[in-house]
């Protein structure tokens, strides 16, 4: 994390904070981080982030630095890259009639799941060996289809569990398509 905070250039920091945390003040935060270097503690980083966000925006939504810390954690752990790879492996490993269900909690994850599922559907219509999502079988080709639009938590669930508010459930199913001779 120290490497990200102290060595990434301003544009890379801004991009990762915006992409990984949907932070609308990403550019301001990145500029403040670069100006305050070297940053040697999480408390110092939190103070820099708080100082970069306009006062009215600091009054809502919890601690002002939480999104920046989330973005850095996602970058350090390569969470979105691992998610994409795991989805592709899960889809490949799923047998005909099987489903892959994914619960996402922020838009970065949701975008990846949506894109991988869409690519899986598109690639599955091709019968080339180049597609990682198409598998020849004795009676046809397995392909994928989205089961339904994403499912959102009910109002009741959101009231009882405020963390559920951002959750999205996406499901894809592998089916067998008969191939004519």
pLDDT digits (tens, 9 = 90+) for 80-92: 999 999 999 999 8
Judge if 69 and 93 occupy the same domain.
no
Judge if 10 and 56 occupy the same domain.
yes
At residue 50, the pLDDT reads: 96
- Backbone φ and ψ for 57, nearest 5 degrees, come out as -75, -25
Residue ranges for the chain with pLDDT beneath 50: 127-134, 138
Judge if 88 and 134 occupy the same domain.
yes
Domain that holds residue 157: 83-178
Does residue 146 contact residue 67 with C-beta atoms inside 8 Å? no
Select from 16, 47, 77 the last residue of a domain. 77
Does residue 120 contact residue 133 with C-beta atoms inside 8 Å? yes
CATH of the domain at 103: 3.40.50.150
- Burial degree of 47 (CB within 10 A; 0-12, 13-18, 19+): middle
Judge if 172 and 87 occupy the same domain.
yes
Select from 47, 77, 107 the last residue of a domain. 77
- Count up the domains in the chain and report the number: 2
CATH of the domain at 41: 1.10.150.170
Whole-prediction pTM: 0.80
At residue 169, the pLDDT reads: 97
At residue 128, the pLDDT reads: 41
Judge if 55 and 104 occupy the same domain.
no
Strands 135-136 and 99-104, by their bridges, are unpaired
Share of the chain above pLDDT 90, in %: 70
């Amino acid at each position: 994390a120290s490497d990200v905070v102290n060595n990434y250039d301003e544009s890379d920091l801004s991009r990762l904070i915006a992409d990984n945390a949907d932070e609308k003040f990403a550019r301001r935060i990145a500029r403040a981080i670069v100006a305050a270097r070297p940053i040697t503690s999480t408390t110092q980083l939190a103070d820099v982030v708080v100082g970069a966000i306009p006062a009215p925006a600091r009054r809502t939504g919890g601690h002002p630095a939480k999104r920046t810390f989330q973005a850095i954690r996602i970058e350090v752990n390569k969470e979105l890259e691992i998610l994409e790879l795991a989805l592709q492996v899960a889809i490949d490993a799923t047998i005909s009639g099987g489903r892959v269900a994914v619960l996402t909690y922020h838009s970065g994850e949701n975008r990846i799941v949506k894109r991988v599922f869409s690519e899986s559907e598109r690639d599955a219509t091709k019968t080339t060996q180049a597609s990682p999502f198409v598998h020849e079988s004795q009676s046809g080709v397995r392909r994928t289809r989205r089961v339904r639009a994403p499912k959102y938590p009910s109002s009741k669930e959101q009231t009882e569990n405020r963390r559920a508010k951002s959750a999205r459930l996406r499901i894809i199913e592998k089916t067998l398509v008969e191939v004519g001779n």
